Structure 1
Amino acid sequence: MKRNSAPSGDQQPKKQPTNEVGKVKSLFNAKIWDPKFQKDLRQEIHDSKPYNWGTIRDLVDDDLLRAVRKEVETQIHFTKKETDIYKVNQSGDLANLSGLDWEDLSRLPNLCKLREILYSEVYRDVISYVTGAGKLSGSKMDMSINTYTKGCHLLTHDDVIGSRRVSFILYLPDPNTRWKDHYGGGLRLFPSIVANVPHSDHSAKLVPQFNQIAFFQVQPGFSFHDVEEVRVNRHRLSIQGWYHIPQEGEKGYIPGEEEEWVKTNTSTLAQLESNVLQDYEFPKGERDVLPPHQIKHFENLLHNQPANQEAENEATEQPLPDMRFLTKEEMKFLSSFVSPEYLTPEGISRLQTQFLEKSHLQIEDFLNDERSDLLKKLIKRDEFEKDCPYESVNVERPWKTAMPPHKWRYLYIDGKSHENFRNEQDILDNLNNEERPNYVLLKQTLDKSKHDTETELITVAEFLQSTAFKKYLALVTLLSPISEQVLIRRFRPGKDFTLATQLNKNALLKDVEGLVDAVLEGTLCLTPSNGWESGEVGGYELYMDNQEESENMDKDIEDAAVYKSDDTGDAVLINKPPSWNSLNLVLRDESVLQFIKYVSWSAKSSRWDITAQWDVKAVDGDDK
């Protein structure tokens, strides 16, 4: 009996489309061309929270995407890049595929085909309709390939750069294994309290799967999102891309629209560099100005100190400091905190010489053994025996959550009464709070049996605010402190960081007599665990030059971390990993950026510290 060679039912061969639109459509899942599917997806996106976003599973032809993944794995070279805002493996120049030679189809034919169909007019029209974003450019293609391996992450930002109108991420992890929630690498979306101020905690999360796309309309001040850290030894491969405002000659082009969009909408970086968000920043950046008589007292005492001249050779001895600067009572008080070796004339002279040479100073084992041992015992106990709150709603007195999270996030104690920031109204109610920090009063209100660690940390913070310590600081640096701010901080693994920002000179000091052009920053690091030295788990405090970007840089590929350190590390001035009982002093002006790198889930503990800032000015001995 003759067998019928034509397959029947589902086995019928697909008809090959003869026109270009048909060819494009055939490479997508047929469901996306269904009007009902589009209408339902449009409504789903409209109703989504915290802002309008959507996702489609099994977007493109499975064979095509598997072939794309194979090409990427075999033909694309990835370079690990790390800045204050991300750690990721990128391809090419910021992974921008437009920079590749697309004539070389023999090397990347499937990747090239995928790019062309993702920017085809028929598919762009679907995205335009379901997102409500309006017409999208097909000529301004903007894509990148990233692979997130263990420890990789991208912190909170809103994707507002240049003429971007829609953001998308097409996921390409291992197609034969389901990507699980505990792997990390999820796309997390953050609600906004008001425009440009995201909440500390995300309210939606997508666990990515192979051949799934997530997308959202770029909404200035609202489309905040991040990529959580990947926690396992797996590759979370993805193609990131943007659709832009139509260009001249394209459908939907409106003269002047792009220029107005760029002018009106502020990027995440520009927001952080402006003063717009200061009302919504917690902790507040104000430093309390010291009483005039105290400032004058410090200046008079420094006038009488012997000059510390630059040595002509190593054998030249520096004059010892005049210890009458400190009274017996003050020396006794200092000795109850500071290691003895740093309270002798010789010890202070060594510190003074090092600081004057480099404008920064690292003092190991700063606290004496008794104080250090007690703190280490208490902090280690809290690390191992107490649950650390990871959501702002669970943070309890006296701790608070630093915000907004596109600038920083950590737990802190600032000496003020407690605000939990449990909801938007709590935050808004505290915008005009003129309360000044008072660690003495705060400590009196704590239950010491429950908050013994916090009580001891506050005791050290009080010490840093004492007149005796500020006199000691003046003696070591030969700078007169004019103001101060002291914070106790805890940076939780898998959660906390500060992004690189410039120094913000305090407007309160405009009436202070004399030139104040720098801030002295001190960080007493009290991190009880090891394993930070390599930098792989983050948590390091980094100071770097604020290098100006090239004026002819393509602003559309300039990412939210444009203030990154360069590949050679030439911009890095100081890189201090977390340690135990180490005081880092840095004299900083507006040309220096500083940040605390995101602390990885792999860290063995939180990064603990007490940080302080003092506006300072030099005292000229000729003025006495």
Structure 2
Amino acid sequence: MASKTHPRSPSPTPAAEQPSLLKRLKSSHISETPTSSTSDSTPHFATGLFAPTNIHRLHTEYETSAPFKHTLVEKLFQDDLLQKVKDEALAELSFSEKETDIYKVYQTGDLASLSYLSEQQIALLPSLLTLRNALYSPMFREFLRAVTGCGPLSGTKQDMSVVSYRKGCHLLNHDDVIGTRRVSYILYMPLPHYQGWQADWGGALELYPVKPRPEGLPEPEPVPEKSVPPVWNQFIFFEVQPGHSFHSVEEVVVGESEDGRQRLSISGWFHSAQPGEEGYVPEPQPELKSSREQLTSTQTDFKSYPETADPPLPDDPLSEEHVSFLSEFLNPVYLQARTMKALASRFVEESSLELHSFLCAPLADKLRTALVEKDEQDGLGPKRATRIPPHTAGSQGAWQLRGPPHKWRYGTLRPLEGGGPKMAVSPRWAHADVDDVVRSLQDELYPSTAFRAWLACVSKLLPVRHSEEARRFRPGLDYTLATSEAAEARLDVVLGLTPQVEPPQEEGSSSDREEAVPVGWQTGEWGGWECYMAPHEEEDDPAVYRSGSAKKKNGTNGTNGHAESKEEPMEDVEEDEDDDEEDDGTLLTVQPGFNRLLLVLRDEGVMRFVKYVSAAAEGSRWDICGEFEIGMIQEDSGDES
């Protein structure tokens, strides 16, 4: 719940203020029966909406709601008006596909611009203009103020659009805090109108509880507490609260081909009173950071290597002990001196490598089948009961959820009780439990001095400290948002373990089962790609300034992609100049794969994320993600710097 002492958090309306608001609403702007003194907007709202008894009821519901204060109005407008608005929006407005790390939607432009259209253009959108003017009318703003106690709202700063969530569309966890936004709202117009929206179609608004943090920054829990499915003419709103109003929109899993189904809505914000408007006061500096600001404050928990271990030198061959250890894990070709020298030369030139068939065959064979079986057991395979799994799926046993979801959400291995015991390294992988095999990669291979020496050989960099974790991104649930957690360069080492699903093969064709990738991963339809982006300076919505439109239509970069060149899409996409400029920020995208190691030298400030894994995916996206603090090696003297 929100802190009642926070200057931007809503608090219960004082007893002395609430009656005065209700009185003002009843006596001036709003009455149950329209009169000549009321705005023309009044008849367009549902009967009884502005009745004092209804306002009192909504205010009480607002104050007692959870996980944060919000209110749901079952019917906001007269139905005939909303049907006309729906028809005008579909017939006359243009919807643009927008996709970033945090969302995928189809959206119109800002409807505040309706005021600047010509008379001829306005004539095509009379109902939409009527609805917009009604929403931002003085009486409706007073209604919102009476229900929430939010303070004066602007009538001049309008912020709304029509949004269509079609198959695959989603909006991930965030708190809406940007600029002067005060109240967030959604007015639902799900299609088809004659048929009620079914819960298993997705598209529900999810509200998250928060947990306090020692440093005073509340964070959302990984699992939402409340889910609100879209219903025709339903209106939900809440006061924007830094660090509290965390919400998301569940992926829509049905398409327009199925009776024209789409989650259509009008959404936007009411802003606090602007300069020159009645009730304007300068915005206080928030005590709590918004979800956007918290994305820039992440830190990796690094571990040091044993002090007794001598740092590896670039020209030193791997010791027999190191080769023996690594042979239990790696494809022997990557332990050959000639291969490592060639890889080092390429990495120095390109700043990244993608190594196929990285693990030895027995280990790869074990993981290939066992991870598919793991998904089936946890209800995350292609035969699962619902396309969107429960939030708790796959979080039992050895795996747990990692949040907070305004930064990331995925499964990680639970720490072993007492820190051990570790699994004994053995070539007999087939007899081991798959969780133990994955844990062995995480806890034995990645932090080992042998792997450190191997990384030094192929990168010409010295790993100084290390951090690693096994990650499981469940379909319809998991992702990471774009973060920049490094003040210095980092070496990212990501071992992709996403099992392939064999695509149909034409007669007479053949495929390498180790490298085959299902069409859904390859095309980006299922999401899950790893993306690196150049730092941005704009102070804007994180869902806007991190463009993802160069994303999924890129194939894997193979061994030639690197973090200093823009990858071009594989197919033509019509975009305006602004979109092209945003695309320039995409440095590298790599699709999920099985048994592939990605090494990337990530410069200071470069952002990265794993795109949300769609519910269309036939299983989880798996990897072992390592991050290494690095030092340069002076080859002439052999000294570190």
**Structure 1-normalised TM-score?**
0.81
Q: Using the TM superposition, give the Cα deviation of residue 392 of structure 1 relative to its aligned residue in structure 2, in angstroms.
A: 5.3
C-alpha distance in 2, partners of 1:67/1:287?
Answer: 58
Tell me, yes or no, if the aligned pair for 2:362 and 2:430 is still in contact at 8 Å: no
Corresponding position of 1:266: 289
Q: Does 1:49 align with 2:29?
A: no
Q: Using the TM superposition, give the Cα deviation of residue 115 of structure 1 relative to its aligned residue in structure 2, in angstroms.
A: 0.7
Q: Paired residue for 2:494, among 501, 520, 523?
A: 523
C-alpha distance in 1, partners of 2:371/2:608?
Answer: 26
Q: What SS is found at the alignment partner of 2:163? A: strand
Q: What SS is found at the alignment partner of 2:631? A: strand
C-alpha distance in 2, partners of 1:443/1:99?
Answer: 65
C-alpha distance in 2, partners of 1:112/1:546?
Answer: 39
Q: Does 1:485 align with 2:502?
A: no
The percentage of aligned residue pairs carrying the same residue is 39
C-alpha distance in 1, partners of 2:111/2:462?
Answer: 50
Partner deviation per Cα, 1:219-258 (whole Å, 9 max, x = no partner): 221111110100111211111121111123433223x2x2
Q: What SS is found at the alignment partner of 1:130? A: helix
Corresponding position of 2:320: 328
Q: CA RMSD in A?
A: 2.5
One-letter amino acid matched to 1:537: W
Corresponding position of 2:436: 455
Corresponding position of 1:368: 360
Q: What SS is found at the alignment partner of 2:273? A: coil
One-letter amino acid matched to 1:287: F
C-alpha distance in 2, partners of 1:601/1:545?
Answer: 28
C-alpha distance in 1, partners of 2:130/2:65?
Answer: 31
One-letter amino acid matched to 2:116: D
Q: What SS is found at the alignment partner of 1:411? A: strand
With 40-49 and 459-468 compared, the bigger mean Cα shift is at 459-468
C-alpha distance in 2, partners of 1:119/1:386?
Answer: 48
C-alpha distance in 1, partners of 2:37/2:132?
Answer: 15
Q: Paired residue for 1:220, among 236, 242, 259?
A: 242
Change over 3 Å in CA distance of 1:165–1:589 after alignment to 2: same
Corresponding position of 1:32: 49
C-alpha distance in 1, partners of 2:248/2:188?
Answer: 15
Q: Paired residue for 2:94, among 71, 77, 101?
A: 77
Tell me, yes or no, if the aligned pair for 2:95 and 2:108 is still in contact at 8 Å: yes
Change over 3 Å in CA distance of 1:367–1:58 after alignment to 2: same
One-letter amino acid matched to 1:456: V
One-letter amino acid matched to 1:406: H
Q: Paired residue for 2:546, among 563, 566, 569?
A: 563
C-alpha distance in 1, partners of 2:288/2:37?
Answer: 37
Q: Using the TM superposition, give the Cα deviation of residue 449 of structure 1 relative to its aligned residue in structure 2, in angstroms.
A: 12
Corresponding position of 1:512: none
Q: Summarize the alignment of residues 469-508 of structure 1 with structure 2, pairs less than 5 Å apart.
A: 469-505=451-487
C-alpha distance in 2, partners of 1:139/1:265?
Answer: 27
C-alpha distance in 2, partners of 1:450/1:126?
Answer: 66
Corresponding position of 2:194: 176
Q: Using the TM superposition, give the Cα deviation of residue 49 of structure 1 relative to its aligned residue in structure 2, in angstroms.
A: 0.9
Q: Summarize the alignment of residues 285-434 of structure 1 with structure 2, pairs less than 5 Å apart.
A: 285-294=300-309, 296-298=310-312, 301-302=313-314, 305=315, 325-387=317-379, 390-391=390-391, 395-413=395-413, 416-417=415-416
Q: Using the TM superposition, give the Cα deviation of residue 18 of structure 1 relative to its aligned residue in structure 2, in angstroms.
A: 6.4
* Aligned positions, number: 533
C-alpha distance in 1, partners of 2:111/2:543?
Answer: 15
With 354-363 and 385-394 compared, the bigger mean Cα shift is at 385-394
Corresponding position of 2:134: 117
Q: Summarize the alignment of residues 133-152 of structure 1 with structure 2, pairs less than 5 Å apart.
A: 133-152=150-169
One-letter amino acid matched to 1:464: Y
With 375-384 and 154-163 compared, the bigger mean Cα shift is at 375-384
Q: Using the TM superposition, give the Cα deviation of residue 99 of structure 1 relative to its aligned residue in structure 2, in angstroms.
A: 7.1
Change over 3 Å in CA distance of 1:450–1:133 after alignment to 2: farther
Q: Does 1:621 align with 2:635?
A: yes
Tell me, yes or no, if the aligned pair for 1:146 and 1:237 is still in contact at 8 Å: yes
C-alpha distance in 2, partners of 1:443/1:190?
Answer: 37
Corresponding position of 1:602: 616
One-letter amino acid matched to 1:289: S
C-alpha distance in 2, partners of 1:162/1:593?
Answer: 23
One-letter amino acid matched to 1:344: Q
Tell me, yes or no, if the aligned pair for 1:503 and 1:589 is still in contact at 8 Å: no
C-alpha distance in 2, partners of 1:451/1:89?
Answer: 47
C-alpha distance in 2, partners of 1:442/1:19?
Answer: 80
Q: Does 1:468 align with 2:450?
A: yes
Q: Paired residue for 1:441, among 421, 429, 444?
A: 421
C-alpha distance in 2, partners of 1:50/1:548?
Answer: 33
Q: Summarize the alignment of residues 54-203 of structure 1 with structure 2, pairs less than 5 Å apart.
A: 54-92=71-109, 95=110, 97-98=112-113, 101-103=116-118, 104-174=121-191, 175-194=193-212, 196-203=218-225
One-letter amino acid matched to 1:571: G
Change over 3 Å in CA distance of 1:604–1:97 after alignment to 2: farther
Q: Summarize the alignment of residues 8-27 of structure 1 with structure 2, pairs less than 5 Å apart.
A: 19=36, 21=38, 23-27=40-44
Corresponding position of 2:273: 246
Partner deviation per Cα, 1:135-164 (whole Å, 9 max, x = no partner): 211111111221100110001111111111
Q: What SS is found at the alignment partner of 1:382? A: helix
Change over 3 Å in CA distance of 1:460–1:615 after alignment to 2: same
With 587-596 and 389-398 compared, the bigger mean Cα shift is at 389-398
Partner deviation per Cα, 1:19-47 (whole Å, 9 max, x = no partner): 36252111111110221111111111111
Corresponding position of 1:5: none
Q: Paired residue for 1:587, among 598, 601, 606?
A: 601
Change over 3 Å in CA distance of 1:100–1:361 after alignment to 2: farther
C-alpha distance in 1, partners of 2:616/2:308?
Answer: 49
One-letter amino acid matched to 2:489: A
**What stretches of structure 2 of length at least 5 have no aligned partner?**
1-31, 256-260, 381-388, 501-517, 550-578
Change over 3 Å in CA distance of 1:182–1:220 after alignment to 2: same
Q: Using the TM superposition, give the Cα deviation of residue 210 of structure 1 relative to its aligned residue in structure 2, in angstroms.
A: 1.5
C-alpha distance in 1, partners of 2:52/2:79?
Answer: 22
**Structure 2-normalised TM-score?**
0.79
C-alpha distance in 1, partners of 2:468/2:526?
Answer: 26
Q: Summarize the alignment of residues 543-554 of structure 1 with structure 2, pairs less than 5 Å apart.
A: 543-549=532-538
Tell me, yes or no, if the aligned pair for 1:518 and 1:617 is still in contact at 8 Å: no
Tell me, yes or no, if the aligned pair for 1:157 and 1:560 is still in contact at 8 Å: no
C-alpha distance in 2, partners of 1:287/1:559?
Answer: 27
Q: What SS is found at the alignment partner of 2:636? A: helix
One-letter amino acid matched to 1:562: Y
Partner deviation per Cα, 1:261-283 (whole Å, 9 max, x = no partner): x55453211122136xx6xxxxx
Partner deviation per Cα, 1:278-336 (whole Å, 9 max, x = no partner): 6xxxxxx2111223453x431xx32xx2xxxxxxxxxxxxxxxx6xx212232233222
Tell me, yes or no, if the aligned pair for 2:100 and 2:543 is still in contact at 8 Å: no
Q: Using the TM superposition, give the Cα deviation of residue 100 of structure 1 relative to its aligned residue in structure 2, in angstroms.
A: 6.6
One-letter amino acid matched to 1:588: R
Tell me, yes or no, if the aligned pair for 1:102 and 1:112 is still in contact at 8 Å: no
